[in-house]
Amino acid sequence: MGDSKSSLGFLVLLVIVLFSGTSSDPHSLSYNFTIDPWPRDDQPWCEVQGEVDQKVFLSYDCGTAKIKYMSPLGEEVKSMSAWEAQTVTLRDTGDLLQGQMPDVTPEKHTDKGPLTLQARMTCWREDSGHTSASWGFGFNGQLCLLFDSENGHWTVVHPGGRQMKEKWENDRAVTDFFRTVSMGDCRAWLQAFLVHWEKMLKTLASPTTVPPTVQPTVPPTEQPTAPAISPITWIALGVLAIFVIMGIVAWILYKKRY
């Protein structure tokens, strides 16, 4: 009988562990890069805007390494060790994009006006707990190319992205850089920052709070979202688990008796 109670306790504990880790709130972290090869005297050649759940929390100048904290979200995490590593990575990304710009500029572009390169890196955690990442690239606000960091697939969404795709698709170093920064660094930052942001984000998302709205330079890439699981579904799964446990316990008792 003692063995039966131990088995029952283990099964109950197993179900608790499984159910406690099957769902989490979805969140996203994005960085919008704007590269201007011919900036005016008062404009940066590389500017990065950081967003969490589409709420702006920082603005970063790659050239001067100056950060402007746009909300309490930035102030909350600026003392973290991951913060310094993040700014270094953002500057490296700006340098790479600037260096690549001459080779990926559309061939049909003429000198009608200044041409700026935009890139949007996004990593997100779905409510299922799965995390992924992607990139969007464009010129002068026109989204041209998408990159799925998880499977390495490039998608041209505007003719201006064809040359960019041909260049980067065959450049292993650039492709690996985009995948590493988005799937590795960005996801690690999101996980670390959420420890400090969870309560603040819930407050900002409340009906009484109006979050700041900012239009991204490059439209965000399509992000897969896992279907939300209703409370009734969780209850049904819990009841099913209980019946399974009862059946296993009954079988154990039967075997012990006979």
If asked whether residues 61 and 135 sit together in one domain, one would say yes
Judged against a pLDDT cut of 60, whether residue 234 lies above it is answered with no
- Three-state DSSP at 201 gives helix
Q: Which helix (H) or strand (E) holds 32?
A: strand 27-35
167 or 113, higher pLDDT: 167
If asked whether residues 47 and 11 sit together in one domain, one would say no
Judged against a pLDDT cut of 60, whether residue 63 lies above it is answered with yes
Give the chain's domain count: 2
Print the domain residue range for 10. Answer: 2-19+232-257
pLDDT score, position 255: 62
Please give the average per-residue pLDDT across 163-179, as a whole number. 94
Please give the average per-residue pLDDT across 32-59, as a whole number. 90
If asked whether residues 171 and 248 sit together in one domain, one would say no
Provide the pLDDT confidence category of residue 120 given band limits of 50, 70 and 90.
Answer: very high
Provide the pLDDT confidence category of residue 50 given band limits of 50, 70 and 90.
Answer: very high
Rg (the chain; Cα; Å)? 24
pLDDT score, position 32: 97
If asked whether residues 246 and 188 sit together in one domain, one would say no
The letter for the amino acid at 234 is W
Q: DSSP alpha helices (H): ranges in 105-209?
A: 162-169, 172-179, 187-204
If asked whether residues 80 and 164 sit together in one domain, one would say yes
Judged against a pLDDT cut of 70, whether residue 85 lies above it is answered with yes
If asked whether residues 87 and 12 sit together in one domain, one would say no
Judged against a pLDDT cut of 70, whether residue 69 lies above it is answered with yes
If asked whether residues 176 and 194 sit together in one domain, one would say yes
pLDDT score, position 17: 35
Q: Per residue in 178-190, is it b (16+ CB within 10 Å) or e — as a string? A: bbebbbebbbebb
If asked whether residues 210 and 250 sit together in one domain, one would say no
Q: pTM score > 0.75 for this model?
A: no
Please give the average per-residue pLDDT across 169-186, as a whole number. 95
**68 CB contacts (<8 Å, ≥6 apart)?**
58, 59, 60
Query: What are φ and ψ of residue 54, in 5° steps?
Result: 65, 20
If asked whether residues 12 and 33 sit together in one domain, one would say no
If asked whether residues 243 and 218 sit together in one domain, one would say no
If asked whether residues 147 and 241 sit together in one domain, one would say no
**48 CB contacts (<8 Å, ≥6 apart)?**
31, 32, 33, 34, 58, 59, 60, 61, 62, 90, 94
Judged against a pLDDT cut of 90, whether residue 29 lies above it is answered with yes
82 or 48, higher pLDDT: 48
pLDDT score, position 82: 79
Range with the poorest average pLDDT among 134-138, 205-209, 210-214, 252-256: 210-214
Which residue matches tokens 């790659």? 62
Task: Report the CATH number that the domain containing residue 90 is assigned in CATH.
Answer: 3.30.500.10
If asked whether residues 221 and 129 sit together in one domain, one would say yes
